[in-house]
């Protein structure tokens, strides 16, 4: 065998090995969470409120969706309208600047965003640990994803379709609301789902802004919120076996949520 | 009677003229054909009339175009585009239902009751000779239609705005011969009620359906007269060469 064949073969082997390695990590993570989760989870946990050492995780499940909901309500309108301005109102030339901002925002560590949320929303605006503080902080993190994908979807509306609408006498508003947004609908929905799944899995920024609640928050501000990632984080640090079970159950719920959201968004893309 | 008049109208980019000092009359209730090779400025001519040129980056223009004896620049662009419809080379229906495609224009221009809208959609589809083929499927996606049907849908979409002029920019160039025949028959029928401006590079098509032909070459109108005159005895040798080359 000559040296090139050996090189080629070993490179291929290395490739297979690395791919197997990646798959193994993924299987190990999800597998351990799913197995442990299935052993730990009980129906009672899903319908009872709890405090990470006793009870269930109903309050954390509801709280997570409430936080994500506020985040979506904050980020989707801002993201969509900013994207419209960039694409349709000649802001395209500032695109590189906007891109730098969104990139910086995407790569800002979430703990730093949490710090900002704490200083500005919790303290300065006096929201306290609350839905609004936690949700908006999540929303700030979701914003670049929504903005970017919406902008790309709007840019991809074919010119001949836009010209057809303009030739029928469509004004700018007609063009945006009756043609471009319907055409970009799938992109917007996909990016929103992606943002939900990212938001649902966040911890660091919520530690500073959402707090914890043994029940369901009764107000947008000054009422703390429970969330699933907190149960994972706090539960695993407790000495009791039951806390560990709650943590694994929360992990399972999170993984199922995120996986199903990803599958839904893949389905919509097609 | 002329309904549209070009007076010393030019369009240019930074380094070349696309339309050079156009003077042209478009006659009411006739098929006015603009004939010429590709790249001669035909599309720019119709895009000037409905003021798409103004929103195309990098183009400048001067001179005048009159529509019903008033400068097109004195109208609201949306009003000009309502009264002068444009059908594109590639059928470009919206990704909506057949009904919503035709209803799009009326919806944005007028406040209509649902039954008035249905009436307009139906009549427009009848006028565009498409109604019989789609009447049971108005809710179906327009993209499920064949190319020829899509093009007639685009014509119906323009007709729904009750225009005076319909411009068609090589409307059959992406269609098969049968679909092409249908569109040509339709054009002949439509001229009773509307003024037609037809853009084509196909001499045979021009001969089949035109009343007047303007021959355009390198952004200039070389010759403009009744169809028979220009086809039988062209005055200019460029026109003659083009016609004989194309007819073989």
Give the pLDDT of residue B233.
Answer: 87
**Which of the four pLDDT bands, split at 50, 70 and 90, describes residue A247?**
very high
- Average confidence score pLDDT of chain A: 90
pLDDT grade for A100, boundaries at 50, 70 and 90: confident
Q: Does B105 touch chain A (CB under 8 A)?
A: yes
Q: Classify A50 as helix, strand or coil.
A: strand
- B81/A164 CB distance under 8 A: no
pLDDT-flagged residues of chain B (< 50):
none
Q: Do the beta carbons of residue A173 and residue A182 sit within 8 Å? A: no
What SS3 class is residue A160? helix
E-strand stretches of chain B = 2-12, 17-27, 31-35, 60-67, 70-71, 84-87, 165-169, 195-200, 212-217, 220-226
* A160 interaction partners in chain B (CB closer than 8 Å): 88, 90, 92
Domain contains A18: no
What is the per-residue pLDDT for A65?
95
Chain A neighbors of B97, CB-CB under 8 A: none
Please return the burial class of A168, using the count of CB atoms within 10 Å of its CB with bins 0-12, 13-18 and 19+.
buried
Of the candidates B167, B155, B153, the one whose C-alpha atom is nearest the C-alpha of residue B33 is B167
Three-state secondary-structure class, residue B107: helix
Confirm whether A259 is domain-assigned.
yes
> Can you spell out the DSSP letters for B162-209?
--SEEEEESTTTTS-HHHHHHHHHHHHHHTTTSEEEEEES-HHHHHHH
pLDDT score at B207:
93
Q: Model ipTM?
A: 0.92
The two beta strands, B70-71 and B31-35, are unpaired
Task: Give B 206-245 residues with CB within 8 A of chain A.
Answer: none
- What is the number of domains present in chain A? 1
Q: Is residue A197 part of a domain?
A: yes
Answer whether B108 sits within 8 Å of A168, measured CB to CB: yes
Q: How far is A164 from chain B (nearest CA, A)?
A: 7
CB contact under 8 A, B92 and A168: no
Asked if residue A26 is part of any domain, the answer here is no
Which among B54, B52, B48, B40 is positioned nearest to B67, based on CA atoms? B48
Task: Give the span between the Cα atoms of B220 and B34, in whole angstroms.
Answer: 11
Domain encompassing residue A145? 41-269
Tokens standing for residue B148: 């020829």
CA distance B236 to chain A (A): 35
Those residues whose C-beta lies under 8 Å from the C-beta of residue A224, and which sit 6 or more positions away, are A128, A129, A130, A210, A211, A212, A213, A217
Tokens of A185: 């609908």
- Say if the Cβ atoms of A168 and B55 lie within 8 Å: no
Find the mean pLDDT for residues A78-91.
85
How many helices and strands, by DSSP H and E, does chain A display? 12, 0
| Residue A6 is assigned to a structural domain of this protein | no
Is A169 close to B109, i.e. CB distance below 8 A? yes
In contact, B81 and B47? CB cutoff 8 Å? no
**For residue B248, what pLDDT is reported?**
57
We report the CATH number of the domain holding residue A232 as 1.10.3720.10
Q: How far apart are CA A65 and CA A228, in angstroms?
A: 10
Give me the residue label for tokens 């911890």. A203
Q: With beta carbons less than 8 A apart as the criterion, state whether A77 and A205 touch.
A: no
- Write the residue in A160, A161, A168 that is nearest to B157 by C-beta: A168
Asked if pLDDT for residue A138 goes beyond 90, the answer is yes
What is the layout of strands, in order, in the sheet containing B84-87?
Answer: B84-87, B165-169, B195-200, B31-35, B212-217, B220-226
Put simply, the chain A residues between 158 and 217 with a CB less than 8 A from any chain B CB are 158, 160-161, 163-171, 174, 178-179, 182-183
Q: Which two tokens stand for residue B158?
A: 């323009």
Confidence at A91, pLDDT banded by 50, 70, 90: low
User: For position A102, what pLDDT does the model report?
Assistant: 84
Mean local confidence (pLDDT), A101-105: 86
Q: In this model, does residue A241 exceed pLDDT 80? A: yes
CB A75 within 8 A of CB A239: no
Please check whether residue A25 lies inside any domain of the structure: no
Model confidence at A92, pLDDT cuts 50, 70, 90, reads low
Q: Which residue has the higher pLDDT, A96 or B30?
A: B30
| Residue A14 within a domain | no
- B160 min Cα distance to partner chain A (Å): 10
A213 domain residue, yes or no: yes
């Amino acid at each position: 065998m000559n040296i090139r064949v050996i090189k080629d073969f070993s490179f291929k082997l290395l490739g297979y090995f690395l791919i197997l390695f990646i798959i193994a990590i993924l299987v190990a993570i999800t597998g351990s969470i799913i197995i442990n989760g299935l052993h730990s989870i009980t129906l009672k946990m899903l319908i009872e409120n709890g405090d990470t050492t006793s009870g269930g995780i109903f309050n954390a499940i509801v709280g997570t969706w409430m936080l994500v909901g506020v985040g979506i309500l904050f980020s989707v309108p801002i993201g969509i309208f900013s994207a419209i301005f960039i694409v349709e109102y000649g802001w395209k030339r500032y695109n590189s600047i906007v891109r730098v901002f969104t990139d910086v925002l995407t790569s800002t560590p979430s703990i730093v965003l949490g710090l900002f949320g704490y200083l500005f929303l919790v303290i300065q605006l006096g929201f306290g640990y609350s839905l609004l503080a936690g949700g908006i902080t999540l929303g700030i993190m979701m914003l670049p994803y929504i903005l970017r994908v919406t902008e790309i979807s709007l840019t991809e509306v074919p010119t001949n379709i836009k010209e057809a609408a303009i030739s029928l006498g469509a004004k700018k508003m007609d063009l945006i609301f009756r043609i471009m947004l319907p055409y970009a609908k799938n992109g917007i929905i996909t990016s929103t789902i992606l943002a939900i799944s990212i938001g649902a899995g966040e911890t660091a920024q919520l530690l500073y802004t959402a707090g914890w609640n043994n029940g369901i928050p009764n107000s947008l501000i000054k009422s703390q919120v429970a969330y699933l990632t907190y149960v994972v984080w706090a539960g695993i640090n407790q000495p009791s076996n039951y806390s560990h079970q709650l943590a694994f159950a929360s992990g399972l719920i999170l993984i199922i949520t995120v996986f199903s959201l990803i599958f839904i968004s893949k389905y919509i893309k097609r | 009677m002329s309904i549209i008049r070009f007076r010393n109208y030019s369009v240019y980019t930074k380094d070349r003229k696309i339309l050079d000092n156009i003077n042209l009359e478009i006659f009411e209730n006739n098929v006015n054909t603009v004939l010429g090779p590709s790249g001669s400025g035909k599309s720019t001519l119709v895009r000037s009339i409905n003021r798409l040129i103004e929103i195309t980056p990098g183009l400048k223009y001067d001179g005048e175009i009159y529509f019903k004896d008033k400068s097109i620049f004195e109208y609201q662009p949306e009003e000009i585009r309502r009264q002068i419809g444009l059908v594109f080379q590639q059928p470009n229906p919206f990704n909506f239902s057949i009904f919503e495609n035709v209803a799009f224009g009326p919806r944005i221009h007028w406040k209509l009751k649902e039954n008035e809208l249905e009436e307009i959609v139906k009549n427009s589809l009848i006028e565009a000779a498409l109604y019989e083929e789609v009447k049971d499927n108005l809710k179906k996606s327009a993209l499920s239609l064949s190319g020829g049907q899509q093009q007639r849908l685009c014509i119906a979409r323009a007709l729904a705005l009750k225009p005076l002029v319909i411009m068609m920019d090589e409307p059959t160039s992406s269609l098969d011969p049968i679909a092409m025949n249908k569109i040509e028959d339709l054009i002949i029928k439509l001229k009773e009620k509307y003024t037609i401006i037809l853009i084509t590079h196909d001499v045979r098509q021009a001969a089949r359906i035109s009343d007047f032909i303007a021959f355009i070459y390198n952004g200039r109108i070389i010759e403009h007269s009744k169809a028979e005159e220009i086809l039988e005895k062209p005055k200019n040798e460029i026109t003659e060469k083009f016609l004989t080359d194309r007819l073989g």
